Amino acid sequence: METTKPTVVVIGNGMVGYKFCEKLVAKSKDFNVIVFGEESRIAYDRVHLSEYFSGKTADDLSLSSSDWYKENGITLYLGDPVQEINRTAKTVHSLHGMAIQYDYLVLATGSSAFVPNIPGVEKDGVFVYRTIEDLELIQSYAGKAKRGAVIGGGLLGLEAAKALLDLGIPETHVVEFAPRLMPRQIDDVGSKMLQYKLSQLGLQIHLNKNTSSIEGNGKIEALQFADDSKLHVDMLVISAGIRPRDELARLSGLEVGSRGGILVNEKLQTSDASIFAIGECALYNNMIYGLVAPGYDMAEVVAANICGGSKSFTGFDMSTKLKLIGVDVASFGDPFISEPECRSVIFEDTHKGTYKRINITQDGKHLLGGILIGDASAYNMLLQTVNNKIVLPPDPEDLILGSRGGAASEGAGVMNLPDDALICSCEAVSKGAICAAVTEQNACTIDQMKKCTKAGTGCGGCVPMVKDLIAGTMKSQGLYVKNVICEHFDYSRQELFDLIKINGIKTYDETLNLYGKGDGCEVCKPAVASIMASLWNDMILKQDTIQDSNDRYLANIQKGGTYSVVPRIAGGEITPEKLIALGEVAKKYGLYTKITGGQRIDMFGAHVSDLPKIWEELIAAGFESGHAYGKSLRTVKSCVGSTWCRFGLHDSVSFAIEIEERYRGVRAPHKLKGGVSGCIRECAEAQGKDFGIIATEKGWNLYVCGNGGSKPQHAQLLAADVDKETCIKYLDRFLIFYIKTADPLTRTATWLNKMEGGMSYLKNVIVNNSLGIGAQLEAEMQYLVETYKCEWKEVVETPELRKRFNHFVNAPVEKDPTVKFESMRAQIKAVEW
Amino acid sequence: MSLSESLEFQNVQSSVTGARIKWFIACSVEDVPENGGACVKYGEEQIAVYNFTRRGEWFATQNLCPHKQQMVLSRGMIGSHGEHCEPKVACPFHKKTFSLLTGDCLNSDDCESIKTYPVKVKEGKVYIGVGIETI
Ligand code: SRM
Ligand SMILES: Cc1cc2nc3c(=O)[nH]c(=O)nc-3n(C[C@H](O)[C@H](O)[C@H](O)COP(=O)(O)OP(=O)(O)OC[C@H]3O[C@@H](n4cnc5c(N)ncnc54)[C@H](O)[C@@H]3O)c2cc1C
Ligand code: SF4
Ligand code: FES
């Protein structure tokens, strides 16, 4: 039956040619599809071509596989360009001599880089930026180059320039003929801001420069400009625009535009009704669409029409976002329209390097277009507002400044879009389709959504919006978003805590086998580690690789990869001998020293391999771990209290030390801090801590759930005028209750804020023992207190554990050579990132 | 293992391409903690090698985290991502995660990818593929 199928021949296996095949076979299997490609590779993602330089391989960029073509019955001839079309016989003829008869012919020949006729362009070291081969050539030449330039300051030129920088060319220039960068997308002020941002990245920009010749003996040595100036470079990438590949069409007598491009109507038919042109080779309405999304749209129109549909191409929005790493640039709608046709709202922050302009109709109702530099986070929303003619709020400046004081959240904005709003323009997925995928196909993650609808699989620019839509739809469906730990466990921390406890589970692997799926991650591993530490108090390094990095190395990792060392100085009290010992160790290992905000001494800049040696000396001098690295008790801050202070009511230092030693090493969902003050003047700031104790005439007041940090909160009174023993009893109960029930990484203040019933409920459980678990909570704390061991002491004494503190496994004596310090006020300091 | 020993090369022919992968003996299996990573020195390069015991697989990537240029990926936690259980490593600094298969950053669009290396284990030794030699 093969022979009766009509034959569709596609010339060009680029992005659009491939998309056409994909769409056609999805709609119908009743065609015999034959594809000719000039490049030797299967269609690849040209849009992300630059990522080839950051490690992506040609395979990664590939859009499909030869198997895919086979499975779909498509014959693919690669490295075999079509050289002739015989329109009367309806045949195509390829370089290698294939002759194929077609019923429908689709030209998807794309475009090539436009190379202006500058004397010297043929010299070595001059490149264009279009194919993987181009990039391979650039990469191999770049190794020898010290100064590179790009001609063309448009979207592609800037991308190429960034690529040269990333290839390690120390000096990279951009030469633009126009008086501004990205002249087709942004205005003068925007261009100045962009220029400033790019110069920070290390690019040197030259505007108003007309290159008159390329100088050099065989290979490029300099650019000569019309204004008589000169720029010495040893490598050049020309990115001066694109030229549609219409040579085959021209040769076959198809009509082409005066400045190139194959003429097509709204059905994308050329002047020969059985021949179509799509993608960057097609000239529609005097316009070449140099972006991938309109090309995909054209592919859809032709595929649908061949299958009997009647779709039309009616032009496409050319809004763009530059995907240069490090600089946000976007332009949408009509970026240039100005007074009196519209009102422009402009926001400029020269300090931060942001420029935002929106153009609004005179009546203030609609958005016409705009420009975003430095911060393009509003791009998707603004683009939707233009495309869907959404009526603007009374204060349209909120669109770029963010609402100040208003309650409208960004998520709500997305949900207000009409159903036909195009969210993913690469794959033409509407808001309606995305919401339907959530409600009907239960696509609740971005990965599932990509699979169901393909939204977000193209340039990826719409992903944040798609996420908001998923969340918004789930919420409007009343879907319960369960507070699970992560994708690997369908349980909350509290549920998991109970499961682990009741079943006596001792390892993470067992937990994952019994209650989880997948291989775990950086969220559930430390959460389970913390649960097990709180329950069993086993040596942390028994399961070292499920610990957060700081717990794994029993020290806090610092900028540059060195560690800090914080021995416990309980209550902030320290003898002169111990002070001297700290000073000696710091001197010996070249450490920076500082008094912390927690009344102790921190020593920074230790190499990982020095840690066991440092701790060996500290332990010999009577110190122990300060657990500054753990989600565990940090410090119990004290004031000097009744031993010296003329106002002191009780001995706050002794009590602070007693408590710090009681709870040292106890692991919790987050860190714990305490304080003990000798009177109501509160010099220990106890009410800013997770637990705070203040001396009264009759005993001690116990406060809980205070917090410093970014959202400070005062602790609240749990019990008044209690004696020491009662105070400790309540503290035991309080801490274990918190450890058992809080979500991961939730401080006591946040835990209380989320607790139903709040402080009165907590008081009931802890003080009135309303749940009858008081004794059990105390016993569990007592177990932790009795099983405490200094982790560092164990490491120092155990050779196998010491061995884990090396930078290189195959060169244990060598330190990380990339660690670098600077000096400041006679001490070391990590170098800036 | 001594440094000189670990720098010796083993050349094994790839049956698929005819080209040879240049293998380098990085360390012994027991040098790398179970379900964790370690850092290996290869000339001037630093390579993070991961013993993904749970999957029975080994992976290797550059040790440098591209986010803030920190030499720390070997100290990161490994795990899996998504329905297809893509193996990944999380940088200990700011928790950017990278696919151990492709090197792509999985939780940020503007973070560069990292380099990955082939790994094989033979007779208790871990070999890292550090290049291709044509014959
Ligand atoms: C060293 C120190 C600053 C100093 O030089 O004084 C410090 C340093 C760090 N603090 Fe702090 N904080 C230090 C006292 C404080 C204080 C003051 C205090 O304890 O009285 C606070 C406010 C009180 C509080 O916690 O409620 C404080 C609130 C934070 C927070 C915010 C916590 C919150 O609930 O919002 C963080 C972030 C976090 O933990 O997630 C943080 C995190 C950090 C980290 C761990 C950040 C990090 O991940 O690298 C820093 C690590 C230091 C290191 O490597 O050793 N640090 N930090 C202080 C060490 C105290 C100690 O001896 O252990
Ligand atoms: C570095 C770079 C970055 C880009 N970034 C973006 C971006 O961020 N956003 C965006 O929307 N667009 C971007 N683009 C543009 C986008 O890649 C193009 O719009 C898209 O590739 C056009 O697809 P096409 O199929 O029309 O052309 P192409 O992908 O060029 O494919 C045409 C193919 O046809 C082949 N061919 C030509 N003649 C023949 C013949 N006679 N016989 C057989 N085969 C033939 C060519 O060799 C080529 O392989 C970028 C382009 C580049 C180069
Ligand atoms: S809190 Fe009271 S006892 Fe402590 S120092 Fe201040 S005044 Fe003195
Ligand atoms: S340095 Fe790795 S995530 Fe920031």
Question: pLDDT tens across A674-700, in order?
Answer: 999 999 999 999 999 999 999 999 999
Residues in the ligand 2 pocket, defined by CB under 6 Å: A 11-17, 36-39, 46-47, 49-50, 81-82, 108-111, 129-130, 156, 159, 245, 248, 279-280, 290-293, 295, 323, 459
- Asked if residue A157 and residue A65 are part of one domain, the reply reads no
How far is residue A137's CA from residue A495's CA, in Å, rounded to a whole number? 57
Contacts of B73 in chain A (CB under 8 A): none
CB pairs under 8 A between A and B: 122
Assess whether the C-beta atom of B75 lies below 6 angstroms from ligand 4.
no
Residue B11: pLDDT over 60 = no
Query: Where a domain ends, among A211, A240, A269?
Result: A240
Ligand nearest the Cα of residue A750 is 1
A679 marked as binding residue: yes
Assigned domain for A609 exists: no
> B39–A809: do the CB atoms touch at under 8 Å?
yes
pTM over 0.90: no
Our CA-based measurement puts residue A49 at a distance from the nearest CA of chain B, in whole angstroms, of: 14
User: How much is the average pLDDT of A490-514?
Assistant: 92
- Asked if residue A179 and residue A194 are part of one domain, the reply reads yes
* Confidence (pLDDT) at A462: 77
- Asked if residue A294 and residue A232 are part of one domain, the reply reads no
For ligand 3, atom 6: residue with the closest CA: A683
Residues in the ligand 1 pocket, defined by CB under 6 Å: A 556, 558, 564, 566, 594, 596-598, 600, 602, 628, 634-635, 671, 673, 707-710, 747
Q: What is the CA radius of gyration of chain B?
A: 15
* Confidence (pLDDT) at A110: 97
- Asked if residue A231 and residue A154 are part of one domain, the reply reads yes
In this structure, are strands A104-107 and A7-11 parallel, antiparallel, or unpaired?
Answer: parallel
Q: Please state the atom number of ligand 4 nearest to the C-alpha of residue B70.
A: 1
What percentage of chain B exceeds 70 in pLDDT? Answer: 84
Ligand 2 centroid vs A127 CA: distance in angstroms? 17
Buried b or exposed e, range A182-218, using 16+ CB within 10 angstroms: bbebbbeebbbbbbbbbeeeebbbbbebebeebbbee
Residue A267: pLDDT over 70 = yes
Give backbone dihedrals phi and psi of A306, rounded to 5 degrees, phi first: -60, -35
Residue A198: pLDDT over 60 = yes
Least confident of A19-28, A106-115, A327-336: A327-336
Ligand 4 centroid vs B33 CA: distance in angstroms? 22
Nearest to B71 among A460, A509, A561 (CB): A561
Residue A326: pLDDT over 80 = no
Dump the DSSP string for A409-461: -HHHHHHTS-TT-EEETTTTEEHHHHHHHHHHH---SHHHHHHHH-TTSSS-T
Our CA-based measurement puts residue A808 at a distance from the nearest CA of chain B, in whole angstroms, of: 5
For ligand 2, atom 40: residue with the closest CA: A81
Query: Where a domain ends, among A240, A272, A293?
Result: A240
Contacts of B75 in chain A (CB under 8 A): 549, 552-553, 557
Fold of B3-133: Rieske Iron-sulfur Protein (2.102.10)
> A545–B35: do the CB atoms touch at under 8 Å?
yes
Q: In this predicted model, what pLDDT tens digit does every residue of A344-381 receive, in sequence order?
A: 888 888 877 889 999 999 888 889 999 999 888 788 88
Is B95 an interface residue toward A (CB < 8 Å)? yes
How far is residue A775's CA from residue A754's CA, in Å, rounded to a whole number? 25
CA contacts within 13 A on the Cβ side of A521? 25
Our CA-based measurement puts residue B81 at a distance from the nearest CA of chain A, in whole angstroms, of: 8
Assigned domain for A84 exists: yes
- Asked if residue A510 and residue A469 are part of one domain, the reply reads no
User: How much is the average pLDDT of A823-830?
Assistant: 91
Q: Which distant-in-sequence residues (6+ apart) come within 8 Å of A38 by Cβ?
A: A12, A79, A80, A81
Residues in the ligand 3 pocket, defined by CB under 6 Å: A 639-641, 645, 647-648, 652, 677-679, 681-683
Query: Where a domain ends, among A547, A562, A583?
Result: A547
Q: In this predicted model, what pLDDT tens digit does every residue of A380-424 receive, in sequence order?
A: 888 888 887 888 877 777 777 764 433 333 334 677 778 888 888
- Asked if residue A269 and residue A184 are part of one domain, the reply reads no
Enclosing H/E stretch for A296: helix A292-306
What are the start-end ranges of the H helices in A128-262? 132-142, 155-166, 188-201, 247-251
Q: Which distant-in-sequence residues (6+ apart) come within 8 Å of A237 by Cβ?
A: A127, A128, A129, A138, A148, A149, A150, A151, A157, A160, A161, A164
Our CA-based measurement puts residue A818 at a distance from the nearest CA of chain B, in whole angstroms, of: 7
* Confidence (pLDDT) at A371: 93
* Confidence (pLDDT) at A568: 98
Is A671 an interface residue toward B (CB < 8 Å)? no
Our CA-based measurement puts residue B128 at a distance from the nearest CA of chain A, in whole angstroms, of: 13
What percentage of chain B exceeds 90 in pLDDT? Answer: 69
* Confidence (pLDDT) at A419: 85
Contacts of A802 in chain B (CB under 8 A): none
- Burial of residue A351 (number of CB atoms within 10 Å: 0-12, 13-18, 19+): exposed
How far is residue A792's CA from residue A506's CA, in Å, rounded to a whole number? 22
* Confidence (pLDDT) at A502: 87
Ligand nearest the Cα of residue A241 is 2
Three-state secondary-structure class, residue A543: helix
The model's confidence at residue A479, banded by pLDDT at 50, 70 and 90, is low
The model's confidence at residue A184, banded by pLDDT at 50, 70 and 90, is confident
What's the farthest any 2 CA atoms get from each other in chain A? 110
Contacts of A807 in chain B (CB under 8 A): 39
* Confidence (pLDDT) at A456: 82
Assigned domain for A151 exists: yes
- Asked if residue A498 and residue A472 are part of one domain, the reply reads no
Q: Tokens 């008159």, residue? A: A212
Contacts of A60 in chain B (CB under 8 A): 102
Contact A236, A242 (CB under 8 A): no
As a whole number, the mean pLDDT across chain A is 91
Q: Which amino acid is at A433?
A: A
If you average pLDDT over each of A140-144, A303-307, A390-394, A827-831, which comes out highest? A303-307
- Asked if residue A446 and residue A417 are part of one domain, the reply reads yes
> A60–B102: do the CB atoms touch at under 8 Å?
yes
Is A321 an interface residue toward B (CB < 8 Å)? no
The model's confidence at residue A316, banded by pLDDT at 50, 70 and 90, is confident
For ligand 2, atom 10: residue with the closest CA: A291
How far is residue A187's CA from residue A799's CA, in Å, rounded to a whole number? 66
The model's confidence at residue A343, banded by pLDDT at 50, 70 and 90, is confident
**CATH at A218:** 3.50.50.60
Contacts of B55 in chain A (CB under 8 A): 519
Buried b or exposed e, range A277-294, using 16+ CB within 10 angstroms: bbbbbbbbeeebbbbbbb
Q: Which amino acid is at A266?
A: E
What are the start-end ranges of the H helices in A541-630? 549-552, 576-588, 611-620
* Confidence (pLDDT) at A596: 96
> A811–B3: do the CB atoms touch at under 8 Å?
yes
* Confidence (pLDDT) at A237: 96
Assigned domain for A818 exists: no
- Asked if residue A233 and residue A136 are part of one domain, the reply reads yes
User: How much is the average pLDDT of A796-802?
Assistant: 94
Ligand 4 centroid vs A43 CA: distance in angstroms? 34
Is A833 an interface residue toward B (CB < 8 Å)? yes
User: How much is the average pLDDT of A236-259?
Assistant: 95
Ligand nearest the Cα of residue A48 is 2
- Asked if residue A230 and residue A146 are part of one domain, the reply reads yes
- Asked if residue A154 and residue A224 are part of one domain, the reply reads yes
* Confidence (pLDDT) at A480: 57
Selected residue with higher pLDDT from B133 and A485: A485
**Which A-chain residues 543-602 have CB contacts (< 8 A) with chain B?**
544-546, 548-550, 552-553, 557, 559-561
* Confidence (pLDDT) at A393: 76
How far is residue A762's CA from residue A246's CA, in Å, rounded to a whole number? 77
Contact A260, A253 (CB under 8 A): no
Q: Tokens 């507070």, residue? A: A483
Least confident of A182-196, A208-222, A311-325, A471-485: A471-485
Three-state secondary-structure class, residue B121: strand
Domains in chain A: how many in total? 4
* Confidence (pLDDT) at A60: 87
DSSP 8-class letter at A765: H
* Confidence (pLDDT) at A413: 64
Which pair of tokens denotes residue B37?
């990573």
Three-state secondary-structure class, residue A101: strand
Contacts of B105 in chain A (CB under 8 A): none
Assigned domain for A157 exists: yes
Nearest to A545 among B77, B85, B103 (CB): B77
Roughly what angle, to the nearest 10 degrees, separates helices A463-476 and A431-441? 50
Our CA-based measurement puts residue A14 at a distance from the nearest CA of chain B, in whole angstroms, of: 23
Give which of A53, A809, A814 to mutate to test B binding, by max B Cβ within 10 Å.
A809
Is B118 an interface residue toward A (CB < 8 Å)? no
The model's confidence at residue A483, banded by pLDDT at 50, 70 and 90, is low
- Asked if residue A229 and residue A131 are part of one domain, the reply reads yes
Task: Compute the residue count for chain A.
Answer: 833
Assigned domain for A380 exists: no
User: How much is the average pLDDT of B37-41?
Assistant: 96
Q: In this predicted model, what pLDDT tens digit does every residue of B55-72 receive, in sequence order?
A: 999 999 999 999 989 999
**CATH at A449:** 1.10.10.1100
Range of the domain at A96: 7-110+244-306
Assigned domain for A362 exists: no
User: How much is the average pLDDT of A4-32?
Assistant: 95
Assigned domain for A165 exists: yes
How far is residue A594's CA from residue A579's CA, in Å, rounded to a whole number? 12
What percentage of chain A exceeds 70 in pLDDT? Answer: 97
A790 marked as binding residue: no
> A546–B77: do the CB atoms touch at under 8 Å?
yes
**Which A-chain residues 458-477 have CB contacts (< 8 A) with chain B?**
460, 463
* Confidence (pLDDT) at A134: 94
